[in-house]
Chain A
C-alpha cells in the first residue's frame, strides 16, 4: 500500500536573488514497510526532498500525498500536528534535548501527543529495550556516545508510532561500529514493527542495508532500484 506519493515536485530557492533549482520534477511513491535510501552527491537535493516529504518545506510546484492526504495544502498549524502524529525524524546530529534524560527524551513526543503516563512509560521501556539502552535510561545525552545518542533519537522518532521515519544522514557522525549497530536496530524495527524508513545518505554501509535505492542528481531521480538486503 502506498503511504507516500510525490507528484511533479519542483523546488526553487532564491539565493541572493539567483534562483537555484533544488528539485526538478520528482515523482516517487513509497510503500508501507519500505527501507529506502535516497542517495546522491552533495547538493543533489536529497535533504530538500526529505524536508518536503516531512512537511518541513513547501514545494514550489507539485503535490505530496501522505496516506492519501495532500500535505502541501495544509496550514502551518495543521502541518505541525500532522508531523507529530505521522512522521518520525532522525537527524544527522541527533538533536536530543540535553536537559532531559534518555527516558524523558523518548517520552517527550508522547507527552506532546497527550498520551497518558501509563502508556508512555510502557512504550518508552519497550523502545529502550529495542534500542538496547535500558540501563542508560536515566542518563543525560552528554553521558552517551554518538551511537547511543542516535539510538535514542531513533527510539524517540518511533515513540509516536509514526507512519514512517525520515532519517537525514543518520550515520554521518557515527563510527563504523555504531553505524552497524544502529542499522541493525533500524532494520529490526522495520521488520518487526513494519515501520517505513527513508534515509538520505552518502554512507555505503547504509546503502548496502537498504532494499531500495533512489539516486538523485541535480534534483532529478536518476535511478530507482530495488536490491536484495545484504546480510551483516
Chain B
C-alpha cells in the first residue's frame, strides 16, 4: 500500500517532480560519464605505459634505476632472458642497453635516453613499431639507423634520412660518438617520452661502446595480463635474487598513484554531485511536506503510525532520486558502452593531452560493478535526503495539522 501510495504521491505535482528527476538524471549522467571517461583515460595511459614505455616488469642490476649508471650491466643477459621466457604468464622478453647520452644534429643538440634494442624481440614487447608516423621501424638489415620521436625530431630540426651524432661513454669510460641516420619517426601519446627517447639497434650500440653482445642494462617483460604482474614479479624475485625486479608501478610510481588517486577523485566528485542533488531533493521534499501538512495530520489522526509516515516520505524521496538516477545511469551507461567501441576523439585538445602523456582518443570504460555502486549511492542519497523532511513531518501535531489552512 505504502509503495504504491508513495509512487502516486511523487506524481502529484508532475512539473516539480519532472524538474527534480531531470536534475538528478543530469547529475548522475555527468557522474557516470566522467567516471567512464576518466577510467578510459587512465586505462589508456596505463596501456601506453605498459605497451609503449615500460612493459609489465623490468629487470636491472641493483642501483641502475637510480642514475642509469652505464657500468651496472647484466652480464649474462641472454641466459636471464631464457629464464624469464620460461616463466608462467610471460608473453615476450627483450634485452636493452640504456644510456643517457647526447644527440646532436647540424642545428642543435640535446640530452636523451638511448635505447639499444634488438628489433625482433623489442617488437614483441613494446609497440613503438606501430607508432611510426614517418619512415619505418628497423628492418632485418641495416646499420647505424635511429628511430626518434616526433618531438625530438622537431627539437633537433631533423627529418627522415637526416644524420644525427650520438655521443656517449664507452666501456673504457672514454667519450665516443657515432653518426646515425634517421629511418623512422614515431609518435606516442606522451610528448615527454617522444622528446627524450631514441631507439638504435642493440648491435650498433654494442659496437660503438665496446659492449659484448650478451650484456644489457635492462630486461623488459610483457605478460599475458596485468593481473599476473605480482605473481610473475614474485616468481622472478625467487629465481633471480641478485637482480632488481620491478613492476611498472614501481618504475613509474606516478602511474600507480594515478589509478588510486583517480578513483579517489572520482568518488569525491560523485559525492559532491550527490550532495548537491541531495540538498535539491531535501528542498523539494520540504515543500512537499509543507503542502501536505493537513493530509499528514489526517493520516496521523486516523491511525497511521509515525514509522509508516516516515517510510512513506522516505519512499517518495527514494523514488524521486532513483527514477532520475536510473535514467541518468542508463543513458550514461549505454552512451559509454557505445563510446567504448568507437572512441571519443578530442583531437582539438590533442597537444594538451599529449603534453600530459595521454591520448586524445579516449575509450570511456564503465563496469557493471561501478553502475551498481552509483545506484546504491543514489539510493543512499535518497534515504539521507528524506531524513530531515520526514523528521519535520513527524513533528507535526495532528490536531493542529488537520486544521491548517
Binding site for B on A (CB under 8 A): 47, 51, 54, 56-57, 76-77, 80-85, 89, 91-93, 95, 97-100, 108-109, 111-113, 156, 160, 168
Contacts and interface: CB of A to CB of B under 8 A. Distances in A.
B305 A93 contact: no
Contacts of B300: 80
Nearest to A98: B12
B399 A51 contact: yes
Nearest to A111: B1
B161 to A, nearest CB: 80
A80 B306 contact: yes
B391 interface: no
Given A83-B301, A92-B403, A99-B11, 7 more contacts: A77-B306, A80-B304, A84-B304, A95-B298, A97-B5, A98-B295, A156-B302
B303 interface: yes
B328 interface: no
B295 A97 contact: yes
User: Interface size class for chain B?
Assistant: 20 to 34
Given A56-B398, A97-B5, A99-B12, A85 B301 contact: no
Contact of A109 (B11, B303, B308): B303
A108 to B, nearest CB: 8
Contacts of A89: 298, 301-302, 402
Contacts of B294: 93, 95
A51 B301 CA distance: 10
Contact of A83 (B12, B297, B303, B308): B303
Nearest 8 pairs between A and B by C-beta? A84-B303, A99-B8, A95-B298, A56-B399, A51-B399, A111-B1, A83-B303, A57-B399
A112 B403 contact: no
Interface of B: 1, 5, 8-9, 11-12, 294-295, 297-298, 300-306, 308, 397-399, 402-403
B305 A81 contact: yes
A218 B212 CA distance: 115
B4 to A, nearest CB: 9
Contacts of A85: 303
A160 B303 CA distance: 10
Contacts of B302: 83-84, 89, 108-109, 112, 156, 160
A95 B402 CA distance: 8
A99 B288 CA distance: 14
A57 to B, nearest CB: 5
Nearest to B404: A93
Contacts of A97: 5, 295
A89 B403 CA distance: 13
B12 A56 contact: no
A77 B303 contact: no
Which of A76, A98, A112: most chain B CB closer than 10 A? Answer: A112
6 contacts: A54-B301, A57-B399, A84-B304, A89-B302, A92-B403, A97-B295
A189 to B, nearest CB: 18
A156 to B, nearest CB: 8
Contacts of B5: 97, 99-100
A17 B121 CA distance: 92
Contacts of A83: 301-303
Given A56-B398, A56-B399, A97-B5, A112 B304 contact: yes
Given A97-B5, A99-B8, A47 B303 contact: no
B9 A99 contact: yes
Given A93-B294, A99-B9, A47 B304 contact: no
Contacts of B399: 51, 56-57
Contacts of B12: 98-99
Nearest to A93: B294
Contact of B305 (A56, A80, A92, A100): A80
A133 to B, nearest CB: 19
B294 to A, nearest CB: 6
A95 to B, nearest CB: 4
A80 B300 CA distance: 7
A82 B297 CA distance: 16
A81 B53 CA distance: 72
A91 B11 CA distance: 25
A195 to B, nearest CB: 16
B293 to A, nearest CB: 11
Which of A81, A83, A95, A109: most chain B CB closer than 10 A? Answer: A95
Contacts of A109: 302-303
A77 B11 CA distance: 30
Nearest to A50: B399
A7 to B, nearest CB: 20
Nearest to B298: A95
Contacts of A51: 399
A81 B303 contact: yes
A80 B9 contact: no
A168 to B, nearest CB: 8
A77 B301 contact: no
Nearest to A58: B399
Nearest to A84: B303
Which of B11, B302, B402: most chain A CB closer than 10 A? Answer: B302
Contacts of A91: 298, 402
Nearest to B300: A80
A168 B403 CA distance: 10
Contacts of B306: 76-77, 80
A44 to B, nearest CB: 15
B313 to A, nearest CB: 14
A194 B329 CA distance: 58
A160 to B, nearest CB: 8
A109 B304 CA distance: 8
A81 B298 CA distance: 14
B8 to A, nearest CB: 4
